[in-house]
Amino acid sequence: MGLWLLFFSSFTSATILPGSSEILLTAMLVEGSWSYWQLFVMATSGNVLGSILTFYMGYFIHAKKPIDFSVNKHYQRVHDVIQRWGWSSLLFSWLPIIGDIFCLLAGWLRVNPLLAFIAITFGKSIRYAILIWFMSAVS
The alpha helices in 21-112, defined as continuous H runs, are 21-31, 36-64, 73-85, 98-108
Contact 99, 47 (CB under 8 A): no
Model pTM? 0.88
pLDDT along the chain (139 residues), means of 10: 91 83 92 94 96 93 73 78 90 86 90 96 95 88
pLDDT at 69: 66
pLDDT at 77: 82
pLDDT at 37: 96
The CA-based diameter of the chain, rounded to the nearest angstrom, is 49
